[in-house]
Amino acid sequence: MDTNRRSFIRKMTLAGIGTAGMAVGNHVNALETGTADQQAQQRKKPVSKDDGKTRFGFIGTGSRCQEHINNVLAIPGNKIVAICDTQKLPLEKTLAHIAKFNVDAPKTYTGSERAFEKMLENESFDCVIIATPWEWHSPMAVAAMKAGVPYVGVEVSAANTVEECWDLVNVSEATGCQVNILENVCYRRDCMAALRMVRENLFGELLHCECGYEHDLRDVKFNDGTQYNYKAGGELRMGPDAFAEAQWRTQHSVMRNGDIYPTHGIGPVANCLDINRGNRFMSLTAMATQSRGLHKFIVDNGGADHSLAKVRFNLGDIVTSMIKCANGQTVIVTHDTNSPRPYSLGFRIQGTQGLWMNDGNNVYIEGKSKPHSWDKSDEWFKKYDHPMWSRLESVAREAGHGGMDFIMMYDFIEAIKNKGPVPMDCYDAAAWSAISGLSEMSIARGGAVVDFPDFTRGQWIKRKPAFAGL
């Protein structure tokens, strides 16, 4: 373990991590919800756009924000009005990044954790994108809707607790402003092809699905900013952004025990199962293994006497949640970020006539595949490629995460420009993100079954599937 790394880990004591969590928590709880009438009255008048361009604001200007900026500015008719961050360096880096597009520089807001509120008060937006640490996603989305922002894009997960999920739904309904959860994996090319196969009944009636987030993040959770990290899309990250992410992400592993990052897996599965649109999650039960991986990582790299070897990590190395659906299907969701393993979201979409398994890239369709033999999924996905991909591939291929970031942003912006419903709305954001809070409840109760809230208040029965035009 090099000197810089040892220095970083030495600073990340349990007391330091806990204090940071308390500070964030106190600020988050300071946001007042207000009554539905009060929320509605706080809405601003529709934005006046003299130049006809869609006006964007960004809260949080790390590397994820810059990826979103690439896609927003790659699509004609958009402009960035203002950006906000608590730290000066990422703001400056983002301004320099925007300057490469030869567009007007946006206004900047910084100086405190509440600077985003001043930005929302002073500026008018068609859309605000939130790409901040997890604790701030729901409170900032709520604040943007209360300020009258018609469309809010919030990074994943959209909420950490069931209460925050209800906040997103209640404020969206009260204000008429829409939240779109920015779950890019829903736009992954294979996921969209599999969804098309589901809706064309290739797999028959769906019975069971599996998914998860299985990603070795030990290096990410203990990054001092001097080493590279590899993200799922292949981008290299180091420096202040990586160090900042380590500080807040590691805190969740100390404080929580549950599936703290479920939406990459459950989003595409929920679309296949028509969750909130003819089906819904009914109940959940979860269990967690021992917490061993992060402690072992510290000892292996810094020795048994290292200061962080005394930290107690609550997050179980492997968290398994099982969900029962109203239409009878079962879903297994796995969270595994503290173990040495290759990256996988572990998709399995299985019905009465066949299945797709992501690990191994296998498809089997009864009556079409050779009996008891797998077909390679590429053969099927090429045939059932989603039209958005075939139409936008030449532009999307240069974007982050293999192009799915661009397809996602394109679909979202189409909804904004057409003043239509968003692809992945507040009910989706709530249902997918609620797995975090519910799994924590279940694990704390010894794996007890917990009821899944109906965030649509019964509307799921008649709502129609809408995602990606399928």
Question: How confident is the model over 320-365, as pLDDT tens digits?
Answer: 999 999 999 999 999 999 999 999 999 999 999 999 999 999 999 9
Please tell me whether residues 211 and 326 are part of one structural domain: yes
Res 382 pLDDT > 60: yes
Q: To the nearest 10°, report the CA torsion of 113, 315, 334, 68.
A: 20
Query: Each residue of 44-65: b (16+ CB within 10 Å) or e?
Result: eeebeeeeeebbbbbbbbbbbb
Please tell me whether residues 332 and 441 are part of one structural domain: yes
Give how far the C-alpha of residue 363 lies from the chain's centroid of Cα atoms, to the nearest Å.
Answer: 27
Question: How confident is the model over 386-399, as pLDDT tens digits?
Answer: 999 999 999 998 78
- 223 close to 443: Cβ distance less than 8 angstroms: no
Res 232 pLDDT > 70: no
Q: pLDDT at position 83, please?
A: 98
Q: pLDDT at position 424, please?
A: 97
Please tell me whether residues 247 and 284 are part of one structural domain: yes
Q: Backbone phi, then psi, for 225, in 5-degree steps?
A: 90, -5
Return the CATH number at 215: 3.30.360.10
Q: pLDDT at position 231, please?
A: 46
- 434 close to 456: Cβ distance less than 8 angstroms: no
Question: How confident is the model over 254-297, as pLDDT tens digits?
Answer: 999 999 999 999 999 999 999 999 999 999 999 999 999 999 99
Chosen domain end from 182, 199, 214: 182
Q: Which of 23-27, 373-377, 383-387 is predicted least confidently?
A: 23-27
Domain housing 288? 186-386+423-469
Please tell me whether residues 150 and 228 are part of one structural domain: no
Q: Which of 45-49, 313-317, 342-346 is predicted least confidently?
A: 45-49
Chosen domain end from 145, 166, 182: 182
Is residue 416 domain-resident? Answer: no
Q: What angle do CA 63, 335, 308 make, to 5 degrees?
A: 70
Please tell me whether residues 210 and 349 are part of one structural domain: yes
Question: How confident is the model over 150-191, as pLDDT tens digits?
Answer: 999 999 999 999 999 999 999 999 999 999 999 999 999 999
What domain count does the chain have?
A: 2
- pLDDT level of residue 22 (50, 70, 90 thresholds): very low
Is residue 58 domain-resident? Answer: yes
Q: pLDDT at position 399, please?
A: 85
Res 235 pLDDT > 60: no
Instruction: Name the pTM for this structure.
Output: 0.88
Instruction: Residue count of the chain, please give it.
Output: 470
Residue 16 and residue 255: Cα distance in Å, rounded? 12
- Residue 458 DSSP SS3: coil
Residue 13 and residue 54: Cα distance in Å, rounded? 45
Chosen domain end from 182, 204, 225: 182
- Residue 4 DSSP SS3: helix
Q: Backbone phi, then psi, for 464, in 5-degree steps?
A: -100, 145
% of the chain exceeding 90 in pLDDT: 78
Res 133 pLDDT > 60: yes
Residue 404 and residue 393: Cα distance in Å, rounded? 10
Please tell me whether residues 49 and 108 are part of one structural domain: yes
Q: pLDDT at position 223, please?
A: 75
Res 418 pLDDT > 60: yes
Average pLDDT, the chain: 88
Q: pLDDT at position 50, please?
A: 63
- 218 close to 230: Cβ distance less than 8 angstroms: no
Please tell me whether residues 190 and 178 are part of one structural domain: no
